[in-house]
Amino acid sequence: MWSTFGQDRLLRQLSASLEAGRVGHAYLLTGPPRIGKMTLALDLAAAVNCAVASGRQPGPMFAADDVPGSDGPCGHCEPCQRIRRGVHSDLSIVAVGGDPRVPTRISIEQVRESENFLSVTPVEGGWKVVIFDGAETLSAGQSESANALLKTLEEPPEHVLILLLAANPDAILPTIRSRCRILSLQPVPGAALAGYLESRHNAEPDTARWLARLARGCPGRAINALADPAVLTDRAEQLERIVATAGAPLDERFAYANSLAGAFSRDRESVRQTLYLWQRWWRDLLLVKEGVDGHIQNTDRRDDLTAQAGNMATADIVAFLQRIQETLVALDANANPRLALECLMLATPAG
């Protein structure tokens, strides 16, 4: 049974491929962070190695609706359990930062290690599976990594499954994209996500609805916030910083930009998420300014939004939203992070 939630169309497509024995050798899983790309990747790895599905383990000990097919992997056999814990011998997860010499991307050394891994006959299951988490970094200033992977995609060994996970599919080289089946994960509707949080994670109805709105259709965000209070504490601190920055002296804004630039060298995605939070805050300011605050995401900070919006012109809010987007694009294009972020701070309207 699939662990992935809210992607019914993709799961039907994959179930049909599995039942027909037409599993591709490479898939590109795309969608925003925390939408469930890794969960789906592990589901696929389990599906091709499930002991019940392959007949390596008899099935009477499982309920009928647990047998793979239209419902995916059984989820209960030893291979399924080990894969979902990330400890299966035929599974390798390659992540950004795995090589300390290139902490912000997947290195060519990691790609070569993966090639060696795939060249060895499966030990536990029937398929070797490699998951590249943060695959867009393969092309970040080092075409060697992408080109090395391309060779494997062009001539893959038998019973090999390569899964590329990327928030930004446009950052993947076209030659690599063209050799993968693309699975685009879509945001889950708010009501469905709230219901899932209530039924599967015991969230109170009001909390479930609020977290579903904050998560913007990404189950992982909501689940993390529900399980770890520090997530919401960090969000509150960042929002306080966003509010304070609008009226802060230039030296304080530059100090903030420098701190973000330093963090960017260690963890690009965390800084991107900070800028997305800025973007959502200023979008909410625009909605409040225009009198349509029923659609704001930061509902718990309505008073702060109203007070700040009252001191700003609509044109200034729109212009700054555009500047945030330009900064995100510049960072993706490997612009100097300190310069890009300082320019953003210079453009911050007083509020």
End-to-end CA distance of the chain: 51
Q: How far apart are CA 184 and CA 145, in angstroms?
A: 23
Is pTM beyond 0.75? Reply is yes
Q: Give residue 274's pLDDT.
A: 94
- Tell me the average pLDDT across 83-95: 93
Fold of 228-346: Zinc Finger, Delta Prime; domain 3 (1.20.272)
β-partners of residue 27 are 163, 181
Q: Distance (Å, rounded) from C-alpha 49 to C-alpha 125?
A: 5
- Residue 28 has a pLDDT of 97
Stretch 33-51: mean pLDDT = 94
Please report the pLDDT score of residue 4 as a whole number.
Answer: 95
Who has greater pLDDT, 332 or 195? 195
**In the predicted model, is pLDDT for residue 269 greater than 50?**
yes
Within 13 Å and on the Cβ side, how many CA atoms surround 52? 24
The mean per-residue pLDDT over the stretch 70-76 comes to 79
Mean pLDDT of 245-250: 89
pLDDT tens digit string along 155-210? Answer: 888 899 999 999 888 888 899 999 999 999 999 999 999 999 999 999 999 999 99
Percentage of the chain lying above the pLDDT 90 cut: 64
Q: What is the DSSP string of 91-160?
A: EEEEETTSSTTSTTS--HHHHHHHHHHHHSPPSSSS-EEEEEETGGGGGSS-HHHHHHHHHHHHSPPTTE
223 φ/ψ angles, rounded to the nearest 5 degrees: -65, -40
Q: Is the pLDDT of residue 268 over 70?
A: yes
Residue 70 pLDDT: 44
Give residue limits of the domains in the chain.
Answer: 8-184, 228-346
Range with top average pLDDT, 100-104, 181-185, 246-250, 329-333: 181-185
pLDDT, tens digit (0-9, with 9 covering 90-100), for 301-322 = 999 999 999 989 999 999 999 9
Please tell me what DSSP assigns to residue 181: E
Round to whole Å and give the CA distance between 193 and 5: 9
pLDDT of res. 102: 66
Instruction: Give the pLDDT of residue 123.
Output: 86
Average pLDDT of the chain?
Answer: 88
Q: For residue 58, what pLDDT is reported?
A: 41
| CATH tag for 8-184 (out of 3.40.50.300, 3.40.50.20, 2.120.10.30, 2.60.40.10) | 3.40.50.300
Give the pLDDT confidence score for residue 236 in this predicted structure.
93
Q: Which helix (H) or strand (E) holds 162?
A: strand 160-166
Q: In the chain, what percentage of residues exceed pLDDT 70?
A: 92
State residue 20's pLDDT score.
Answer: 86
Which pLDDT tens digit goes with each residue over 44-69? 999 999 988 765 444 333 333 333 34
pLDDT at position 141, please?
Answer: 53
